[in-house]
Amino acid sequence: MTLNNKSSLTYLILAIFICKFHISCNNLEKPVFKTIENIEVNKANFSKVIIQADAVFENPNQMSINLVGTDLEVEGNNINLGKVIQQREVKVNAKNEFSIPIIITFPPQKLWQDQKGLIGGLIDAYLDREVSLRIFGTINMKAAGIPFKLSIDQTRVVKIK
């Protein structure tokens, strides 16, 4: 093979790669939010409640994407409990289901004082208490250098004891 044939073959392979990459980018779909699962109360005492959950998504694309971070709000029984902001970049494989761990931390007084006052809140703290936990906001992602946001909004009932 001569030098001219090698460079022609190199250009042909490069052109095929660029076309395939361009077609993949043009058909880019946002990942699909599926559910919030594995909700677990890790700690519940008078000073702090820690709840951990997983937000599950599906990447329908032929290419991997990068999760850049989260910007989520958390409500318990329609009371704002705070934000979950994570700024950690994670690579997500093509055609793959993936989950994002969410850790929610808040003082229980914020939830129980707003509903029954301090005494009622203290009594509820010793009893099994169901809370309607709503997680909503955006997941920030990038694919082929193109940033996009994915909205989520889901409510689950959690027992805090």
Q: Which residues of the chain have pLDDT under 70?
A: 1-6, 11-12, 14-26, 112-128
Residue 8 and residue 63 in one domain: no
| Domain encompassing residue 58 | 31-160
Query: pTM for the complete prediction?
Result: 0.72
Residue 18 and residue 61 in one domain: no
Residue 68 and residue 135 in one domain: yes
Q: Which helix (H) or strand (E) holds 150?
A: strand 146-160
| pLDDT value of position 158 | 87
77 touches 42 (CB < 8 A): no
Q: How many domains does the chain have?
A: 2
Torsions phi, psi for 74 (to 5 deg): -130, 130
Residue 80 and residue 3 in one domain: no
| pLDDT value of position 127 | 57
121-161 pLDDT, tens digit per residue, is 555 555 567 888 999 999 998 887 888 898 999 999 988 77
